[in-house]
Structure 1
Amino acid sequence: MNQSRMNIRLAVEADKTAWDAYVLAHPDGSLFHLDNWRQSVEQAFGHPSHALLAEDGGRVVGVLPLGEIDSRIFGHFLVSAPFAELGGPLADSPEVAGQLLELAAEIGMERDCAYVELKNKSALDGLPTKNLYFNFSKEIFPEVEANFNAIPRKSRAAVRKGINEGLTASFGNDLFDDFYEVMARSYHQLGTPIFSRRFFRAFLDVFGDDAEVMVVRNKGGHPVGCVMSFYHKDRVMPYYAGSLWEYRQLCPNDFKYWELMKRGCERGYKVFDYGRSKVDTGSFSFKKHWGFEPTPLAYQYQLLKAAELPNLSPANPKYQKKIELWRKMPLALTKIIGPTLAKYLA
């Protein structure tokens, strides 16, 4: 590579096609590196984006999507990518990745950010790392029955219970209102601020057929679970999901993920990507019980003004009283206040 011809700059709208082509061709390119992800977040929240593009002789050789979060409560930082499982630089070589990171740090300093967070699939040399998250992905077999039989016995029994209890699954973005109501109630029960309707709607609008809502109903027709999934390359990716605690005996979570896996199988997808979970959490155990093995992710940091690694995790003890207080708030109030906080939980 000719370093004298290297040009690293902020991407513009005209770069979208070349940017996405590079992401789709790169072995570590993810849904979250695509321009549609940046566009969805920017459309929903208005957070500034700094999409860095490296070129060599006019050919794209690296990209680094960055979002800027500026909150009086959660701090001022750059993150790649915001509200995503993955991000970080994609590049033809470590040298290109290094130059992208140099420019990211420069932008962070100019913008008075405390740090740059990089949600890497694999660790880069020389950066402090958090080993907090793990991804769970597994092959989808060509036959529906083979996938059902591959579910471990206890989880398979939970799927059967959901079926026998009369649960049904419906797909379609016209179900958005039911989806959002279940999400809001589920997040309230967890003590987590809910995102705005506009946030979820932006993904459906921008991604089109590559994003889809599912709603699970009990035999009385009442919504009890939901999931928003993305379809990327050969992967089915349930990403935003919720269920109502008072209906847990119906096993709506096991049922909905089986229905989604079955749908992915019937549509020819090859990988069921359960997404990330924090170690020692309920979702981590749930995915393990489904027979998925955890793969560690490397969340890394360029510390600019910050003296230590940030800890915005809900597991942080300093947030426990706030979580309990949130659970006690009226649901209607959390729908009003929640989006003003959640927009910074990137």
Structure 2
Amino acid sequence: MNAPLAPLRVREGGTADRAAIERFLEGRAEVQPFHLPAWFDAVERGCGQKSHWLVAERGSAVEGVLGLSHVRSPLFGSALVSAGFGVGGGIVGAGAEALAEAAWTLAQRLGCGSVELRGGVLPEGWERRQGVYFDFARDLPADDEAILKGIPRKQRAEVRRSLGFELKVDIGRGLNAHYRVYSESVRNLGTPVFPRGLFEAALDALDADIVTVSKDGTPLASVLSVYHGGVVYPYWGGGTAGARAWRANDRLYYELMRHAARRGCTRFDFGRSKAGTGAFSFKKNWGFEPQPLVYAVRG
């Protein structure tokens, strides 16, 4: 006679649970960088957003997890988000309803007005928000010629033009040049500049590197990318006012595709953009089809 199945219970996780959480997440196809303890470490260290973990267990076996960042904003108040500074996150594995309820209980205890899950298994009864953000991802060919041929004709012409300029491409951990370019780019867009400490922490905690394109010693375009599960995520990037004349952004992403393929990546995730924005159009020009992102919100 089979023993009865142990009940599923949810509890808050701590430092002692880290290894078990990492083992549970390892190799799962749905897991993105935004689910990893290392991501939450980087966000907490770089921005001061404290991380919390909820673990669903049956006996001593982990069956589901949910990482959360405690986000505080002068404009929007306090919230638990999975994941802070991430375009994805959410519940992984079993026990979605119990984990979601535990997240709401934790939010109330911490004085948070809402909980937002940016992916994963979405709990029943929570508000679904979609049609605002779209993700852009597709398979990445293995060789340079196939990568170039896979770019639509008009955008491919821009890449070829960039290849005709004497531009220097650096790949590594050159954060000084990257942060100067990134800061100028987002200031020109009128959006907040994230703290340098976030990028330092991401480079330390995650499998990440930086590609920078320069002309005559002046950095023009740069991107910090994260790698996980054979996917490259170009995450924090931008270009200066002088980048367009040299097609530096076009060169940047072509070189990143080549570099990621050499690293063994088979998929390129261009990240999320809002419909109707310049970034949305730019990614479509590269041949990426928008896929709607669905977030679950309570509160």
TM-score range, shorter chain: over 0.9
Match of 2:191, SS state, is coil
Tell me the equivalent position of 1:66.
Answer: 68
Q: CA deviation at 1:160?
A: 1.2
Q: CA deviation at 1:300?
A: 1.6
Match of 2:242, SS state, is helix
Q: How does 1:139-218 map to 2 (within 5 A)?
A: 139-173=139-173, 175-207=174-206, 210-218=207-215
CA contact (8 A) 1:225 1:243 kept: yes
TM-score (norm 1): 0.82
Match of 2:199, SS state, is helix
CA contact (8 A) 2:92 2:120 kept: no
Tell me the equivalent position of 2:247.
Answer: 251
- Return the letter of the residue paired with 2:210: V
1:229 counterpart = 2:229: no
CA contact (8 A) 2:128 2:295 kept: yes
Tell me the equivalent position of 2:78.
Answer: 76
Q: CA deviation at 1:230?
A: 0.7
Distance in 2, matches of 1:269 and 1:49, equals 29
CA contact (8 A) 2:6 2:59 kept: no
% identical equivalent positions: 38
Tell me the equivalent position of 1:105.
Answer: 104
112 and 249 in structure 1: CA distance in 2 versus 1, 3 angstrom threshold: same
217 and 137 in structure 1: CA distance in 2 versus 1, 3 angstrom threshold: same
CA contact (8 A) 2:18 2:37 kept: yes
Distance in 1, matches of 2:101 and 2:231, equals 32
Q: How does 1:122-137 map to 2 (within 5 A)?
A: 123-131=122-130, 132-137=132-137
Match of 1:245, SS state, is coil
CA contact (8 A) 1:214 1:228 kept: yes
Tell me the equivalent position of 2:279.
Answer: 283
- Return the letter of the residue paired with 2:85: F
151 and 121 in structure 1: CA distance in 2 versus 1, 3 angstrom threshold: farther
Match of 1:117, SS state, is strand
Distance in 1, matches of 2:243 and 2:127, equals 42
1:262 counterpart = 2:262: no
- Return the letter of the residue paired with 1:166: E
CA contact (8 A) 2:27 2:229 kept: no
CA contact (8 A) 1:122 1:297 kept: no
1:24-46 C-alpha deviation (Å, 9 max, x unpaired): 33332111100000111111122
Distance in 1, matches of 2:221 and 2:291, equals 27
Higher helix share: 1
Q: CA deviation at 1:283?
A: 0.9
Tell me the equivalent position of 1:44.
Answer: 46
TM-score (norm 2): 0.94
CA contact (8 A) 1:23 1:30 kept: no
Q: CA deviation at 1:12?
A: 1.5
Q: CA RMSD in A?
A: 1.7
Tell me the equivalent position of 1:342.
Answer: none
Structure 2 gap ranges (5+): none
Match of 2:142, SS state, is coil
Structure 1 gap ranges (5+): 304-346
Distance in 2, matches of 1:46 and 1:247, equals 33
1:205-234 C-alpha deviation (Å, 9 max, x unpaired): 112xx110111102x121001000011011
1:261-296 C-alpha deviation (Å, 9 max, x unpaired): 011122221101111111111111111111111111
Tell me the equivalent position of 1:308.
Answer: none
Distance in 2, matches of 1:122 and 1:292, equals 25
Distance in 1, matches of 2:122 and 2:275, equals 18
Distance in 2, matches of 1:221 and 1:156, equals 26
Q: CA deviation at 1:124?
A: 4.4
221 and 18 in structure 1: CA distance in 2 versus 1, 3 angstrom threshold: same
Q: CA deviation at 1:246?
A: 3.1
- Count of aligned pairs between the two proteins: 296
Tell me the equivalent position of 2:16.
Answer: 14
Counterpart among 212, 234, 241 of residue 237 in structure 2: 241
Distance in 1, matches of 2:4 and 2:88, equals 29
Distance in 1, matches of 2:279 and 2:125, equals 31
Match of 2:212, SS state, is strand
Match of 2:154, SS state, is helix
Distance in 2, matches of 1:122 and 1:141, equals 30
